[in-house]
Amino acid sequence: MLILGIETSFDETCAAILRITEQKNRRLKIAVLANIISSQILKHKKFGGVVPQLAAKLHQKNFIPVLEKAIRVAKVKPQKIDLISVASGPGIIPALLVGVTIAKTLAWGLGKPLIGVNHMEGHVLSVFLDKKYPISNIQYPILALLVSGGHTQMVLMEKWLKYKMLGETRDDAAGEAFDKVGKLFGLDYPAGAKIERLAKKGNPEAFNFPRPMIKSKNYDFSFSGLKTAVKNTIESLRKERKLSRRTIGDIAASFQQAVIDVLVLKTIQAGQEFCVKSLIIGGGVSANQALCNNLKKFLKEDLPDVVFLVPQKEYTNDNAAMISLAGYFRYKIGESGDWKKVQADANLKLDG
Ligand code: KG4
Ligand code: ZN
Protein backbone atom coordinates (compact mmCIF):
# COMPACT_ATOMS: atom_id res chain seq x y z
CA MET A 1 0.00 0.00 0.00
CA LEU A 2 1.30 3.48 -0.89
CA ILE A 3 0.48 6.20 1.61
CA LEU A 4 0.94 9.93 1.06
CA GLY A 5 1.35 11.86 4.32
CA ILE A 6 0.84 15.60 4.71
CA GLU A 7 1.98 17.66 7.70
CA THR A 8 1.46 21.42 8.09
CA SER A 9 0.54 21.78 11.78
CA PHE A 10 3.15 24.35 12.63
CA ASP A 11 6.21 25.70 10.81
CA GLU A 12 7.35 22.76 8.68
CA THR A 13 5.79 21.97 5.32
CA CYS A 14 6.08 18.19 4.90
CA ALA A 15 5.08 15.46 2.50
CA ALA A 16 6.09 11.81 2.70
CA ILE A 17 5.38 8.64 0.80
CA LEU A 18 5.52 5.26 2.51
CA ARG A 19 5.16 1.79 1.05
CA ILE A 20 3.78 -0.63 3.64
CA THR A 21 3.49 -4.31 2.79
CA GLU A 22 2.10 -7.06 4.93
CA GLN A 23 4.48 -10.00 4.74
CA LYS A 24 3.60 -13.69 4.93
CA ASN A 25 4.53 -13.83 8.64
CA ARG A 26 2.09 -10.88 9.10
CA ARG A 27 4.98 -8.58 9.89
CA LEU A 28 4.84 -5.18 8.25
CA LYS A 29 7.55 -4.02 5.91
CA ILE A 30 7.64 -0.24 6.17
CA ALA A 31 9.65 1.62 3.54
CA VAL A 32 9.93 5.40 3.68
CA LEU A 33 10.23 6.21 -0.04
CA ALA A 34 10.33 9.98 0.53
CA ASN A 35 10.21 12.25 3.55
CA ILE A 36 10.48 15.88 2.46
CA ILE A 37 10.57 18.72 4.99
CA SER A 38 10.67 22.40 4.10
CA SER A 39 11.39 24.40 7.21
CA GLN A 40 10.11 27.96 7.62
CA ILE A 41 12.39 28.73 10.55
CA LEU A 42 14.47 31.38 8.78
CA LYS A 43 11.35 33.32 7.73
CA HIS A 44 9.94 33.48 11.27
CA LYS A 45 13.28 34.24 12.91
CA LYS A 46 13.05 38.03 12.73
CA PHE A 47 9.71 37.92 14.57
CA GLY A 48 11.17 35.91 17.46
CA GLY A 49 8.59 33.11 17.08
CA VAL A 50 6.21 31.49 14.63
CA VAL A 51 3.65 33.92 13.12
CA PRO A 52 0.48 31.91 12.29
CA GLN A 53 -0.57 33.89 9.19
CA LEU A 54 2.94 33.76 7.77
CA ALA A 55 3.13 30.01 8.46
CA ALA A 56 -0.09 29.51 6.47
CA LYS A 57 1.15 31.66 3.58
CA LEU A 58 4.42 29.74 3.42
CA HIS A 59 2.66 26.35 3.54
CA GLN A 60 0.51 27.54 0.64
CA LYS A 61 3.59 28.65 -1.30
CA ASN A 62 5.79 25.64 -0.55
CA PHE A 63 3.43 22.70 -0.43
CA ILE A 64 3.25 21.85 -4.15
CA PRO A 65 7.07 21.97 -4.60
CA VAL A 66 7.42 19.74 -1.51
CA LEU A 67 4.82 17.31 -2.88
CA GLU A 68 6.45 17.30 -6.34
CA LYS A 69 9.78 16.49 -4.73
CA ALA A 70 8.28 13.68 -2.65
CA ILE A 71 6.74 12.16 -5.79
CA ARG A 72 10.03 12.52 -7.69
CA VAL A 73 12.15 11.03 -4.88
CA ALA A 74 9.70 8.16 -4.25
CA LYS A 75 9.42 7.52 -8.01
CA VAL A 76 5.70 6.89 -7.84
CA LYS A 77 2.81 8.20 -9.91
CA PRO A 78 0.18 10.14 -7.90
CA GLN A 79 -2.56 7.83 -9.29
CA LYS A 80 -0.79 4.87 -7.64
CA ILE A 81 -1.23 6.30 -4.15
CA ASP A 82 -3.72 4.19 -2.18
CA LEU A 83 -4.31 6.37 0.87
CA ILE A 84 -3.81 10.00 1.91
CA SER A 85 -3.17 10.92 5.53
CA VAL A 86 -3.09 14.44 6.93
CA ALA A 87 -2.29 15.89 10.35
CA SER A 88 -5.61 17.55 11.26
CA GLY A 89 -4.55 18.83 14.72
CA PRO A 90 -3.40 19.93 17.21
CA GLY A 91 -1.53 22.92 15.84
CA ILE A 92 -2.09 26.47 14.64
CA ILE A 93 -5.36 26.69 12.76
CA PRO A 94 -4.29 28.77 9.71
CA ALA A 95 -1.44 26.31 9.12
CA LEU A 96 -3.59 23.19 9.64
CA LEU A 97 -6.25 24.51 7.26
CA VAL A 98 -3.76 24.65 4.40
CA GLY A 99 -2.71 20.99 4.77
CA VAL A 100 -6.23 19.73 5.41
CA THR A 101 -7.69 21.62 2.43
CA ILE A 102 -4.94 20.36 0.11
CA ALA A 103 -5.40 16.80 1.41
CA LYS A 104 -9.17 16.89 0.88
CA THR A 105 -8.77 18.27 -2.62
CA LEU A 106 -6.21 15.59 -3.50
CA ALA A 107 -8.38 12.82 -2.03
CA TRP A 108 -11.44 14.03 -3.92
CA GLY A 109 -9.54 14.61 -7.17
CA LEU A 110 -7.69 11.29 -7.11
CA GLY A 111 -10.65 9.40 -5.67
CA LYS A 112 -8.59 8.07 -2.73
CA PRO A 113 -9.47 7.60 0.94
CA LEU A 114 -8.37 10.32 3.36
CA ILE A 115 -7.58 9.92 7.07
CA GLY A 116 -7.14 12.86 9.45
CA VAL A 117 -4.64 11.97 12.17
CA ASN A 118 -3.61 13.52 15.43
CA HIS A 119 -0.13 15.04 15.11
CA MET A 120 0.76 13.73 18.60
CA GLU A 121 -0.20 10.21 17.58
CA GLY A 122 2.31 10.66 14.76
CA HIS A 123 4.99 11.39 17.38
CA VAL A 124 3.97 8.29 19.39
CA LEU A 125 4.17 6.04 16.34
CA SER A 126 7.32 7.60 14.85
CA VAL A 127 9.46 4.95 16.63
CA PHE A 128 7.93 2.27 14.39
CA LEU A 129 9.48 3.86 11.30
CA ASP A 130 12.65 2.18 12.56
CA LYS A 131 13.02 -1.44 11.39
CA LYS A 132 14.56 -2.20 14.79
CA TYR A 133 11.14 -2.05 16.44
CA PRO A 134 8.63 -4.42 14.78
CA ILE A 135 5.11 -3.52 15.88
CA SER A 136 4.19 -7.17 16.28
CA ASN A 137 6.71 -7.44 19.16
CA ILE A 138 5.41 -4.53 21.22
CA GLN A 139 4.22 -5.29 24.75
CA TYR A 140 1.40 -3.44 26.53
CA PRO A 141 0.82 -1.26 28.43
CA ILE A 142 2.92 1.30 26.58
CA LEU A 143 3.84 4.61 28.17
CA ALA A 144 4.62 7.48 25.80
CA LEU A 145 6.51 10.59 26.83
CA LEU A 146 5.87 13.24 24.19
CA VAL A 147 8.19 16.20 24.37
CA SER A 148 8.03 18.81 21.65
CA GLY A 149 8.00 22.56 21.15
CA GLY A 150 4.23 22.77 21.60
CA HIS A 151 3.47 19.85 23.94
CA THR A 152 4.69 17.86 26.90
CA GLN A 153 2.43 14.91 27.49
CA MET A 154 2.50 11.61 29.32
CA VAL A 155 0.23 9.14 27.60
CA LEU A 156 -0.75 5.57 28.37
CA MET A 157 -1.62 3.13 25.58
CA GLU A 158 -3.20 0.04 27.13
CA LYS A 159 -4.47 -1.20 23.78
CA TRP A 160 -3.40 -0.47 20.23
CA LEU A 161 -4.24 3.18 19.39
CA LYS A 162 -6.31 3.70 22.57
CA TYR A 163 -4.85 6.53 24.58
CA LYS A 164 -5.28 7.81 28.09
CA MET A 165 -3.77 11.19 28.92
CA LEU A 166 -1.96 10.90 32.26
CA GLY A 167 -0.69 14.45 32.35
CA GLU A 168 0.52 17.42 30.39
CA THR A 169 2.21 20.74 30.84
CA ARG A 170 0.25 23.49 32.54
CA ASP A 171 2.28 26.23 30.86
CA ASP A 172 5.39 25.98 28.68
CA ALA A 173 6.25 22.76 26.87
CA ALA A 174 9.70 21.24 27.44
CA GLY A 175 10.93 22.29 23.98
CA GLU A 176 9.49 25.77 24.50
CA ALA A 177 11.51 26.07 27.73
CA PHE A 178 14.70 25.18 25.78
CA ASP A 179 13.77 27.75 23.13
CA LYS A 180 13.05 30.50 25.68
CA VAL A 181 16.26 29.86 27.62
CA GLY A 182 18.11 29.89 24.30
CA LYS A 183 16.62 33.30 23.55
CA LEU A 184 18.03 34.59 26.87
CA PHE A 185 21.46 33.60 25.57
CA GLY A 186 20.73 35.24 22.21
CA LEU A 187 20.39 31.89 20.41
CA ASP A 188 18.09 31.55 17.40
CA TYR A 189 14.87 29.52 17.52
CA PRO A 190 14.75 26.51 17.82
CA ALA A 191 17.41 26.46 20.52
CA GLY A 192 17.07 22.94 21.98
CA ALA A 193 19.98 21.35 20.12
CA LYS A 194 22.15 24.45 20.69
CA ILE A 195 21.49 24.36 24.45
CA GLU A 196 22.37 20.68 24.46
CA ARG A 197 25.71 21.49 22.78
CA LEU A 198 26.44 24.25 25.33
CA ALA A 199 25.44 21.91 28.17
CA LYS A 200 28.07 19.37 27.11
CA LYS A 201 30.75 21.86 28.20
CA GLY A 202 29.07 22.75 31.49
CA ASN A 203 28.54 21.39 34.96
CA PRO A 204 24.92 20.28 35.57
CA GLU A 205 25.37 20.81 39.31
CA ALA A 206 26.74 24.35 39.11
CA PHE A 207 23.33 25.98 39.58
CA ASN A 208 20.52 24.52 41.63
CA PHE A 209 17.51 25.45 39.48
CA PRO A 210 13.98 24.49 40.60
CA ARG A 211 12.46 21.18 39.48
CA PRO A 212 8.83 22.38 39.13
CA MET A 213 6.11 19.93 40.17
CA ILE A 214 8.62 17.16 40.74
CA LYS A 215 6.85 16.22 43.97
CA SER A 216 3.28 16.74 42.73
CA LYS A 217 1.14 13.63 42.93
CA ASN A 218 0.19 13.72 39.27
CA TYR A 219 1.81 13.59 35.86
CA ASP A 220 1.45 17.25 34.97
CA PHE A 221 4.41 19.48 34.23
CA SER A 222 5.27 23.16 34.46
CA PHE A 223 8.39 24.72 33.01
CA SER A 224 7.74 28.46 33.02
CA GLY A 225 9.01 28.97 36.61
CA LEU A 226 12.24 27.20 35.71
CA LYS A 227 12.71 29.53 32.75
CA THR A 228 12.14 32.54 35.04
CA ALA A 229 14.73 31.22 37.51
CA VAL A 230 17.25 30.90 34.66
CA LYS A 231 16.36 34.41 33.47
CA ASN A 232 16.94 35.90 36.94
CA THR A 233 20.29 34.09 37.26
CA ILE A 234 21.46 35.33 33.85
CA GLU A 235 20.37 38.90 34.62
CA SER A 236 22.16 39.07 37.95
CA LEU A 237 25.34 37.50 36.55
CA ARG A 238 25.24 39.98 33.69
CA LYS A 239 24.91 42.89 36.14
CA GLU A 240 27.89 41.60 38.08
CA ARG A 241 29.79 41.05 34.79
CA LYS A 242 30.22 37.41 35.67
CA LEU A 243 28.51 35.88 32.65
CA SER A 244 31.51 34.12 31.11
CA ARG A 245 31.51 31.38 28.46
CA ARG A 246 32.04 28.93 31.24
CA THR A 247 29.07 30.10 33.30
CA ILE A 248 26.89 30.00 30.18
CA GLY A 249 27.82 26.32 29.76
CA ASP A 250 27.10 25.72 33.44
CA ILE A 251 23.70 27.44 33.24
CA ALA A 252 22.78 25.46 30.10
CA ALA A 253 23.82 22.17 31.73
CA SER A 254 22.04 22.95 35.01
CA PHE A 255 18.87 24.04 33.22
CA GLN A 256 18.89 20.94 31.01
CA GLN A 257 19.41 18.71 34.05
CA ALA A 258 16.45 20.31 35.83
CA VAL A 259 14.18 19.56 32.85
CA ILE A 260 15.56 16.02 32.59
CA ASP A 261 15.13 15.30 36.32
CA VAL A 262 11.43 16.20 36.18
CA LEU A 263 10.76 14.27 32.97
CA VAL A 264 12.67 11.18 34.11
CA LEU A 265 11.25 11.01 37.62
CA LYS A 266 7.65 11.34 36.44
CA THR A 267 8.20 8.81 33.67
CA ILE A 268 9.61 6.25 36.08
CA GLN A 269 6.76 6.88 38.52
CA ALA A 270 4.14 6.41 35.80
CA GLY A 271 5.98 3.33 34.55
CA GLN A 272 5.78 1.80 38.02
CA GLU A 273 2.19 2.84 38.76
CA PHE A 274 0.82 1.45 35.49
CA CYS A 275 3.19 -1.56 35.29
CA VAL A 276 4.19 -0.59 31.77
CA LYS A 277 6.10 -2.97 29.54
CA SER A 278 7.27 -0.48 26.91
CA LEU A 279 8.31 3.15 26.98
CA ILE A 280 8.18 5.31 23.86
CA ILE A 281 9.64 8.77 23.64
CA GLY A 282 8.74 11.14 20.82
CA GLY A 283 8.83 14.78 19.67
CA GLY A 284 11.67 17.21 19.00
CA VAL A 285 13.15 17.04 22.53
CA SER A 286 13.56 13.25 22.22
CA ALA A 287 16.63 14.09 20.09
CA ASN A 288 18.29 15.16 23.35
CA GLN A 289 20.94 12.55 24.12
CA ALA A 290 21.30 13.52 27.77
CA LEU A 291 17.55 12.99 28.29
CA CYS A 292 17.60 9.57 26.60
CA ASN A 293 20.72 8.51 28.51
CA ASN A 294 19.18 9.53 31.83
CA LEU A 295 15.97 7.66 31.00
CA LYS A 296 17.97 4.56 30.04
CA LYS A 297 19.96 4.73 33.26
CA PHE A 298 16.91 4.98 35.53
CA LEU A 299 14.93 2.39 33.59
CA LYS A 300 17.81 -0.04 34.05
CA GLU A 301 17.77 0.58 37.80
CA ASP A 302 14.03 0.83 38.48
CA LEU A 303 12.22 -0.86 35.59
CA PRO A 304 14.77 -3.23 34.04
CA ASP A 305 12.19 -5.20 32.03
CA VAL A 306 10.75 -2.19 30.22
CA VAL A 307 11.71 -1.91 26.56
CA PHE A 308 12.69 1.64 25.67
CA LEU A 309 11.95 2.80 22.11
CA VAL A 310 13.55 5.98 20.77
CA PRO A 311 12.82 7.35 17.27
CA GLN A 312 15.59 7.73 14.73
CA LYS A 313 16.88 11.32 14.80
CA GLU A 314 15.31 12.22 11.44
CA TYR A 315 11.85 11.36 12.84
CA THR A 316 12.11 13.22 16.16
CA ASN A 317 11.10 16.57 14.64
CA ASP A 318 7.88 17.21 12.77
CA ASN A 319 7.69 15.12 9.61
CA ALA A 320 5.06 13.56 7.37
CA ALA A 321 6.45 10.00 7.49
CA MET A 322 4.95 9.60 10.98
CA ILE A 323 1.64 11.03 9.70
CA SER A 324 1.58 8.49 6.82
CA LEU A 325 2.20 5.67 9.28
CA ALA A 326 -0.49 6.83 11.71
CA GLY A 327 -2.97 7.18 8.82
CA TYR A 328 -2.19 3.65 7.64
CA PHE A 329 -2.90 2.18 11.09
CA ARG A 330 -6.10 4.20 11.50
CA TYR A 331 -7.31 3.01 8.09
CA LYS A 332 -6.48 -0.59 9.02
CA ILE A 333 -8.53 -0.42 12.22
CA GLY A 334 -11.52 0.58 10.14
CA GLU A 335 -11.67 4.36 9.85
CA SER A 336 -13.73 5.16 6.82
CA GLY A 337 -11.38 7.34 4.78
CA ASP A 338 -14.25 9.68 3.92
CA TRP A 339 -12.78 13.13 3.20
CA LYS A 340 -16.00 14.79 4.46
CA LYS A 341 -15.21 13.62 7.99
CA VAL A 342 -11.77 15.27 8.13
CA GLN A 343 -11.71 18.65 9.87
CA ALA A 344 -8.80 20.77 11.09
CA ASP A 345 -8.94 21.14 14.88
CA ALA A 346 -6.32 23.26 16.66
CA ASN A 347 -7.09 21.56 20.00
CA LEU A 348 -7.52 17.98 18.82
CA LYS A 349 -7.20 15.61 21.79
CA LEU A 350 -5.38 12.28 21.68
CA ASP A 351 -7.81 10.66 24.10
CA GLY A 352 -10.93 12.39 22.76
O1 KG4 B 1 8.30 18.01 17.61
P2 KG4 B 1 8.87 19.29 17.14
O3 KG4 B 1 9.66 19.29 15.87
O4 KG4 B 1 7.77 20.36 16.92
C5 KG4 B 1 6.62 20.50 17.65
O6 KG4 B 1 5.66 19.71 17.39
O7 KG4 B 1 6.62 21.39 18.52
O8 KG4 B 1 9.78 19.86 18.35
C9 KG4 B 1 10.54 21.02 18.23
C10 KG4 B 1 11.17 21.33 19.59
C11 KG4 B 1 11.82 22.70 19.67
O12 KG4 B 1 11.35 23.34 20.83
C13 KG4 B 1 13.31 22.38 19.77
O14 KG4 B 1 14.05 23.35 20.48
C15 KG4 B 1 13.29 21.05 20.49
O16 KG4 B 1 12.19 20.37 19.90
N17 KG4 B 1 14.54 20.29 20.31
C18 KG4 B 1 15.37 19.95 21.33
C19 KG4 B 1 16.46 19.26 20.75
N20 KG4 B 1 16.25 19.20 19.40
C21 KG4 B 1 15.06 19.83 19.16
N22 KG4 B 1 15.28 20.19 22.66
C23 KG4 B 1 16.28 19.72 23.44
N24 KG4 B 1 17.38 19.07 22.95
C25 KG4 B 1 17.51 18.81 21.65
N26 KG4 B 1 18.57 18.17 21.18
ZN1 ZN C 1 5.44 17.91 16.69
- Cα–Cα distance between 307 and 296 in angstroms, integer? 10
The string of pLDDT tens digits covering residues 311-344 is 999 999 999 999 999 999 999 999 999 999 999 9
Q: Ligand 1 within 6 A of 204 CB? A: no
DSSP, residue by residue, 129-177 = GSTTS-GGG--SSEEEEEE-SS-EEEEEEEETTEEEEEEEBSSS-HHHH
Q: 40 with 121: CB under 8 angstroms?
A: no
Residue 169 scores a pLDDT above 80 = yes
CA nearest neighbour of 201 among 126, 127, 252: 252
pLDDT for 217 equals 92
Q: Ligand 1 within 6 A of 284 CB? A: yes
Name the DSSP class of 315. Answer: G
**Amino acid residing at 349:** K
Taking the centre of ligand 1 as the mean of its atom positions, its distance from the CA of residue 109, in whole angstroms, is 35
The string of pLDDT tens digits covering residues 112-157 is 999 999 999 999 999 999 999 989 899 999 999 999 999 999 999 9
Q: Ligand 1 within 6 A of 285 CB? A: yes
Say what percent of the chain tops pLDDT 70.
100
pLDDT for 104 equals 98
Q: What is the mean pLDDT of the chain?
A: 97
Ligand nearest to the CA of residue 150, numbered in listed order: 1
Ligand 1, atom 3: closest residue by C-alpha = 317
Ligand nearest to the CA of residue 322, numbered in listed order: 2
Out of 148, 262, 286, 323, mutate this one to test ligand 1's pocket (max ligand atoms within 8 Å of CB): namely 148
Distances (CA, A) of 19 to 332, 336, 339: 14, 20, 21
Residue 304 scores a pLDDT above 90 = yes
Out of 35, 38, 118, 178, mutate this one to test ligand 1's pocket (max ligand atoms within 8 Å of CB): namely 178
Q: 339 with 105: CB under 8 angstroms?
A: no
Which ligand 1 atom is at minimum distance from the Cα of 179? Answer: 14
- Cα–Cα distance between 177 and 27 in angstroms, integer? 40
Q: Ligand 1 within 6 A of 149 CB? A: yes
Long-range contacts of 255-258 (CB under 8 A, 24+ apart): 255/177, 255/181, 255/195, 255/199, 255/207, 255/209, 255/226, 255/230, 256/178, 256/195, 256/196, 256/199, 256/204, 256/288, 256/290, 257/199, 257/204, 257/205, 257/290, 258/209, 258/210, 258/211, 258/226
pLDDT band for position 47 (cuts 50, 70, 90): confident
What pTM, to 2 d.p., does this model score? 0.96
Helix extents (H) in 274-307: 289-302
The string of pLDDT tens digits covering residues 179-230 is 999 999 999 889 999 999 999 999 999 999 999 999 999 999 999 999 999 9
pLDDT band for position 11 (cuts 50, 70, 90): very high
Q: Ligand 1 within 6 A of 311 CB? A: no
- The answer for residues whose C-beta is within 8 angstroms of residue 234's C-beta and 6 or more apart is 184, 185, 243, 251
Q: Ligand 1 within 6 A of 190 CB? A: yes
Residue 158 scores a pLDDT above 90 = yes
pLDDT for 300 equals 98
Neighbours of 164 (CB within 10 A): 13
Q: 204 with 254: CB under 8 angstroms?
A: yes
